[in-house]
Amino acid sequence: MKTEAELQALGEKVVETLCSIYDPEIPVDIYQLGLIYDVQVSEDCDVKILMTLTTPNCPVAESLPQEIEEKVRSIDEVKEVEVEITFDPPWDKEMMSEEAKLELGFL
């Protein structure tokens, strides 16, 4: 059983990993883009990620969740990974971080 601090550190590693994954059409990582709605780490080191895509017809709808699952699963402490896609609420550019908006010229 992991301590709260260990689970917190693992959650931070997961977010760090998510920040290394880029939307192929936009030069910004999926975390800064606002595609990640929630990251949960259970006491058993299982990770559940709730995310969205920029559009339901996104060309990476199949491959992006798989890439996320593989990269997060590669973290030593992580046991199981579940990536759930939702379109509620639908993504819009207001969900991007300030850095992402600046990078893409929205500021």
pTM exceeds 0.75 for this model:
yes
What's the pLDDT at 34? 96
CB-based burial label for 9 (10 Å; 0-12, 13-18, 19+) = middle
What's the pLDDT at 106? 86
Burial 23-44 (b: 16+ CB within 10 A, else e): beebebbbbbbbbbbebebeee
Average pLDDT, the chain: 93
Check pLDDT > 90 for residue 27. no
CATH class of 4-89: alpha beta
Confidence grade of residue 18 (pLDDT, cut at 50, 70, 90) = very high
* 23 close to 60: Cβ distance less than 8 angstroms: yes
Mean pLDDT, to the nearest integer, of 79-85? 97
The DSSP call for residue 80 is -
Nearest to 36 by CA among 25, 44, 20, 5: 20
Mean pLDDT, to the nearest integer, of 73-86? 97
